[in-house]
Amino acid sequence: MERRLTRQIYVGNVPVGGGAPISVQSMTNTDTRDARATVIQIMELAGAGCEIVRVAVPDSTAADALKEIIKQSPIPVVADIHFDYRLALKSVANGVHGLRLNPGNIGGAGRVREVVKAARERKVPIRVGVNAGSLDKRVLDKYGGVTPQGLVESALEHVKILQELDFHEIKISLKAFDIPLMMEAYRLISEKVDYPLHIGVTEAGTPWAGTIRSAVGIGVLLSSGIGDTLRVSLTGDPVLEVKVGFEILKALNLRQLGPTIISCPTCGRTEIKLAKIAGEVEKKIQHLKTPLKVAIMGCVVNGPGEAREADVGIAGGKGVGLLFKKGRIIRKIPEDRLVDELLKEIKLMLKEEP
């Protein structure tokens, strides 16, 4: 699929836009004032593949903690700022790699000028982020409620403030829970500016429902060529956000990180405990970083053929299964050895310990 070409910015050492790989972001849910807890969570996120992490900066103590957090973080850190320009200045001084703030909400022109000056000197980009739940009353009154046009107008007002100060290290997000509204807002703004776009469904929900909503909203935009970086917003452990983000990218052949499990939905021909086997294999290989398609099929009649695109896989039968690579049968395996033999084959292929 053809991606919309945007200008490129850098968040730390991560390129965003301009044809760079679509980066996966998340946000810590620790108290940023607790630097140790925040660093531990950032390490977990980075281990899952997270490339940019955002942290809340609600007060001066949190801004001070950024110095130690950034020193230990293996990935770029973005400070999430609301209303207080002094927190933005302190965050930049403490080494933050990006700011998430709306310049129209931090005070008069002088304050905005100070923040922009500091950001320019440190090469810190600014994300203008507009959410459907926090639109200005004037915009709501003008459009009769939350609309895609209102989201875009609000974002462009903030962007204009930065442009008038000759600052263009900008990315934009237009998030909403309503997926059709969110998608239309991104389509509209993609026709008006060439800044990179950060996409996501805000407040998407619990892991089960939120994953579905995010996959639909983010997936449709990406399949339309829109989106340069993304975050899946889920209630719970942010590590799951990263995993879901990469699964969405993998499903569209936009990024590959680690294994992809191909497994059939089961039917009346299934004679092995397919769900249990698939879950066990997935757990054993989830730490691998090498892209690999692993098939776990429940039928020796159609399994190898249906999963011929897989790098390696197994197909179960009554008391026995088949091990295959690229659709070619390698050998028969007793049912109780299927998982062990599959993991052994993966180890041989990757020279890694599953």
Instruction: Tell me the CATH number at 323.
Output: 3.30.413.10
Confirm whether 24 is domain-assigned: yes
Q: Which two tokens stand for residue 195?
A: 């800044």
Residues 203-209 have a mean pLDDT of 87
3-state DSSP assignment of residue 121: helix
Residues 290-308 have a mean pLDDT of 76
Tell whether 178 and 45 lie within a shared domain. yes
Tell whether 86 and 193 lie within a shared domain. yes
Q: How confident is the model at residue 354 (pLDDT cuts 50, 70, 90)?
A: very low
Residue 302 is predicted with a pLDDT of 63
Tell whether 37 and 163 lie within a shared domain. yes
Tell whether 199 and 63 lie within a shared domain. yes
Tell whether 148 and 280 lie within a shared domain. no
pTM assigned to the model = 0.87
Tell whether 179 and 59 lie within a shared domain. yes
Tell whether 34 and 156 lie within a shared domain. yes
Confirm whether 3 is domain-assigned: no
Confirm whether 113 is domain-assigned: yes
Q: Which residues of 250-280 are buried (b: 16+ CB within 10 A; e: fewer)?
A: beeebbebbbbbbbbeeeeebbbebeebbeb
Confirm whether 63 is domain-assigned: yes
The answer to whether the beta carbons of residues 352 and 288 sit under 8 Å apart is: yes
CA gap 336, 45 in Å, rounded: 35
Cα dihedral 56→60→61→65 (10° resolution): 60
pLDDT 10s digits, 84-114: 999 999 999 999 999 999 888 887 889 999 9
Tell whether 13 and 101 lie within a shared domain. yes
Tell whether 225 and 320 lie within a shared domain. no
Tell whether 38 and 115 lie within a shared domain. yes
Residue 77, pLDDT > 90, answer: yes
Tell whether 17 and 134 lie within a shared domain. yes
pLDDT 10s digits, 216-237: 999 999 999 999 999 999 999 9
Give residues with Cβ within 8 angstroms of 247, minimum separation 6: 215
Confirm whether 313 is domain-assigned: yes
Of the three residues 251, 276, 302, the one that is the final residue of a domain is 251
Q: How far is CA 51 from CA 25, 46, 100, 175, 315, in A?
A: 6, 7, 16, 20, 36
Q: How confident is the model at residue 306 (pLDDT cuts 50, 70, 90)?
A: low
Q: How confident is the model at residue 69 (pLDDT cuts 50, 70, 90)?
A: very high
Confirm whether 4 is domain-assigned: no
Of the three residues 222, 251, 280, the one that is the final residue of a domain is 251
CATH code of 32's domain: 3.20.20.20
Amino acid identity of residue 354, one-letter, is P
Confirm whether 344 is domain-assigned: yes
Residue 352 is predicted with a pLDDT of 52
Of the three residues 216, 251, 286, the one that is the final residue of a domain is 251
> What residues make up the domain containing 292?
259-350
Tell whether 236 and 345 lie within a shared domain. no
Q: Name the DSSP letter for residue 197.
A: B
Structural domain total, the chain: 2
Confirm whether 1 is domain-assigned: no
Residues 76-91 have a mean pLDDT of 95
CA gap 204, 132 in Å, rounded: 13
